[in-house]
Amino acid sequence: MALRVALGRAKPWGLGYQLVLKCKLGFLGALKNLSLPFNNFIGSLRESLSKMVSLETLDVSSNNLSGVLSNCSMLESLDLSFNYLTGTIPSRLESLSQLRDLIAWLNQLYGEIPQELMYLRRLENLILDFNDLNGSIPASLSNCTNLNWISLSNNQFSGQILLF
């Protein structure tokens, strides 16, 4: 049996609540949109997605994933919500220069928002609610001139509220 996929015209691929067994998606190097919310995926994002160099939209919310994305320089929208992610926000996110949406609410992220996010010039939406982030909101975010929405509720921020 042969499988033909026209990735250039493919619509976003959503698996929703379907059961996926031992699925290796890494061979889909031309895939642009991947939606896998509300599953029971575990493991490292790096291993699973390292060969998806054309990926523009990734929604892996409500899973149990860890790790940092690499080789996804075309990524425009990233939803990591409700994944039990722990640790600090990696400064390596600056390599995602096309990123418009960074959504990582309801995780266990801590520490400060990295100054390096200022290099995400296309960033429009930064949603980091319900984590354990602290420190002050970096003034360097004012360099993200396309920001429309910043949502940082239910964290441990302190200091002055900056008006950009």
Residue 83: give its domain's CATH number. Answer: 3.80.10.10
Q: What is the pLDDT of residue 62?
A: 94
Which residues, including other chains, have CB under 8 Å from residue 4's CB and lie 6 or more apart?
Answer: none
Spatial separation of the C-alpha atoms in residues 61 and 101, rounded to whole Å: 13
Average confidence (pLDDT) over 20-25 = 48
Q: What is the pLDDT of residue 160?
A: 86
User: Within 13 Å of residue 75, how many CA atoms lie on the same side as its CB?
Assistant: 25
pTM above 0.85, yes or no: no
Q: Which of 5-19, 73-87, 100-114 has the lowest mean pLDDT?
A: 5-19
Structural domain contains residue 56: yes
Closest CA to 102 of 116, 163, 135: 116
User: Within 13 Å of residue 131, how many CA atoms lie on the same side as its CB?
Assistant: 29
User: What is the span of the domain harbouring residue 38?
Assistant: 14-157
Structural domain contains residue 140: yes
pLDDT-based confidence at 81, cuts 50/70/90?
A: very high
Structural domain contains residue 164: no
Q: What is the pLDDT of residue 68?
A: 67
